[in-house]
Structure 1
């Protein structure tokens, strides 16, 4: 009996709510945006936050949270920040990422916040828009409409995507994460990838959302899947048709439509903000939601989403051109 009691005492279960949000230049693009980000973190119940497009405003966000009675810490390198209600170690800069060790109970988590290259945005090619490539294929179009129409050559789209360097960044992450797992740590990755999911551009969606027949194994998310990582939102909501989970572009009523769209004559909606985890008996995914407005921008118009995606905080003042993602876990250890 004493042994059983001791075992029970040594094991605990904690709630971990992981929020990923692109802060749109640190919340500076909308009046009051810094306070809005703090409110979103507080109201969502997030305990671990990955911020892309973080800036010098990150300490202000944390100060606002803590002034409301919470106890958050933060680390930032480059334009990625990690904010945590749990103890957080020193941050390490990786290419396009910030890494820190977060301790939940007795469990250490290697947490990675990512904001990948935004240029060579290959998902625009099937929508008949330039990928914003500063060099190489289709670079002559910039971000402008391609007069000859959609690029549906899968190999060409994949080449432009590879030229971004995003898949190489993810491959380096996978190697680093493997070392962390060997140390006994859980691994969670979250951020703005500026690249769609291989689970979303499927035969079922080939004629939807201006994919124009393109079915593509997007290299970054495919590499994560091949390495055993779990896309939290798509694990909870497997259908990209009924639950597309779009995070870009969000219809922010605090901003003009023309500041929210980069492909105004297309349906440019994509899910490009993610939470990934590597399976571990100590980590259990409980839920995943889109956080933010129900409306998206489609062909230069604000359009309410008609799918079955679960939305959280859909009616709160919004500070950014992305929607956020919240993945809820239990951590046992």
Structure 2
């Protein structure tokens, strides 16, 4: 599958720049569609000098410097459950009981999975399950969320699934040159991950703890080294894989290799490619990456009981991928000046819940306007305070795109 949501590359949502809500901060509109399960994402515009619908029409609310909180321990699971999963994959998620789960291939089952596994928060667009509130902040354009791991304190979280076509290790086994494989990796997968890396690097630079889970359908440069040459089919020389290199350049760490530094002794295979025709034993393509103020404490493969390098085993394992569980010591940061949503996908009649934060402003207003409109076109208005939550009924809104704006 391709990378979820492939909008224009954007700047961080926390710049102190006034700009229009167009490229690079264009956000896809919400579509309030009657009697449909799947709807379009919601546009969030925050009048704080970033992501403005129209900079000339909204006064700026000053952004605040990020404040670090107390350290917390956080567990993260990445799990491709294969074709929406089943009762067995639900059981794995429930028994592992990670704080945050990056799910792949949940399709339309995520609400059901959340209910059956006991997770109070989920996000369909990002395929996340969480024990903590999931906020989609202004400017993020659906590419990442802020997860409130402690009241008022957050980490940034990405979850993605890159395309599986022209799978690099298979092509190496079939005789394609490293140059040809590298080029196809760039076109098929690295170009997609590079939609995320500008935001990853910016968030890390601002002091956020940043996590990325995903089935990246690509090996890591840390696994194709001089030491691993000849250990399995296709590894004929050390090789730099573009997706991992892009994430390293953005400031991310490979959590599994933080703990298991020797890829010869602990390959940590998560996917056995059925197209291997010469005895290849698969690759590690399911990852948890971390950046910013965090330390990896543990990392283990979750899979079939007795499987190679499987640290947590289950007698019944139905997915074609193994999962990975990592724990971290994390320093979250205070929720920034922002307007956030718990979901950018609504049906007409659903309640629109908005979380807002404007430190230093005792009186604010949150309005709903047609996409791209000025404040004079406000359809819904709530008086708000410095920080908190507010909600809007959407039954009277026609199916269309809308912007959520906070005013001082």
User: Into which bin does the TM-score normalised by the smaller protein fall?
Assistant: 0.7 to 0.9
Structure 2 regions of 5+ residues with no counterpart? Answer: 1-67, 333-408
Structure 1 regions of 5+ residues with no counterpart? Answer: 1-9, 28-32, 129-149, 250-259, 296-303
Q: 1:152-173 CA distances to partner (integer Å, 9 max, x unpaired)?
A: x221221122221x11222221
| Equivalent of residue 45 in structure 1, options 89, 97, 107 | 97
For residues 93 and 192 of structure 1, the distance between their equivalents in structure 2, rounded to whole angstroms, comes to 25
Corresponding residue for 2:146? Answer: 101
Give me the CA root mean square deviation.
2.5
For residues 204 and 154 of structure 1, the distance between their equivalents in structure 2, rounded to whole angstroms, comes to 18
Q: Could you tell me whether the CA contact under 8 Å between 2:170 and 2:275 is conserved in 1?
A: no
For residues 91 and 63 of structure 1, the distance between their equivalents in structure 2, rounded to whole angstroms, comes to 25
Q: Secondary structure at the match of 1:172?
A: coil
| Equivalent of residue 165 in structure 2, options 112, 119, 134 | 119
Q: Secondary structure at the match of 2:247?
A: helix
Q: How many residues align?
A: 264
Deviation of 1:52 after TM superposition, in Å, equals: 1.3
For residues 216 and 92 of structure 1, the distance between their equivalents in structure 2, rounded to whole angstroms, comes to 38
Bigger radius of gyration among the two: 2
Deviation of 1:331 after TM superposition, in Å, equals: 2.6
Q: Secondary structure at the match of 2:314?
A: coil
Deviation of 1:270 after TM superposition, in Å, equals: 0.1
Q: Could you tell me whether the CA contact under 8 Å between 1:25 and 1:55 is conserved in 2?
A: yes
Structure 1 pair 223/236, CA: closer, same or farther in 2 (3 Å)? same
| Equivalent of residue 274 in structure 2, options 261, 264, 280 | 261
**TM-score between the two structures when normalised by the length of structure 2:** 0.60
Q: Could you tell me whether the CA contact under 8 Å between 2:200 and 2:250 is conserved in 1?
A: no
1:191 is the counterpart of 2:243: no
Corresponding residue for 2:193? Answer: 170
Structure 1 pair 108/54, CA: closer, same or farther in 2 (3 Å)? same
Q: Secondary structure at the match of 1:246?
A: coil
1:15 is the counterpart of 2:73: yes
**TM-score between the two structures when normalised by the length of structure 1:** 0.73
Q: 1:1-22 CA distances to partner (integer Å, 9 max, x unpaired)?
A: xxxxxxxxx9644321100011
1:24 is the counterpart of 2:24: no
| Equivalent of residue 155 in structure 1, options 161, 179, 194 | 179
Corresponding residue for 1:243? Answer: 266
Q: Normalized per residue, which structure has more helix?
A: 1
